[in-house]
Amino acid sequence: MRKDREKGFSLIELLLVVVVIGVVAALAVPAFQRATRAAENGAVFSTLRVIASTQVTFFTQNSRFGRLAEINQVVGNSLGTNTSDRLVRGTFVFEMTPVVPTDAELRTEYLITATRNIPGETIYQYELNQSGEIEQIRP
């Protein structure tokens, strides 16, 4: 005998709610990941622009371009964390080519590469040279 006063959700109603939540999550998570990558890429472009303008100042004062650690020091270590000959900011690693350029090499040019290489995800890579041009290498 069924009681008329029973309250609660049926199994079908609960399954329907779970399915709706699953569909919303399946749509929202990829959009969130795309937005996160776009924000990271924007931050890297901004960092590379700061590096480029700081390199110009450094060159006028020292008659050569600066290494990453020197440039980071000029801007109060706000570009990221120095690790060996690299600079780490978020998911990106910045490094010079060659990794340890000589003063003679830095009198004429520099090349800085910013790479985001997370296993299982798309590799993003940007390059900045002495002309101040930022070029997307990957993807």
Q: Which residue type sits at 54?
A: T
pTM of this structure:
0.79
Q: Give the pLDDT band (50/70/90) at residue 34.
A: confident
Q: Tell me the per-residue pLDDT of 84-139, one tens digit each, with 9 for 90 and over.
A: 889 999 999 999 999 999 999 999 999 999 999 889 888 999 999 999 999 999 98
| 39-92 pLDDT, tens digit each | 998 999 999 999 999 999 999 999 999 999 999 999 999 999 998 889 999 999
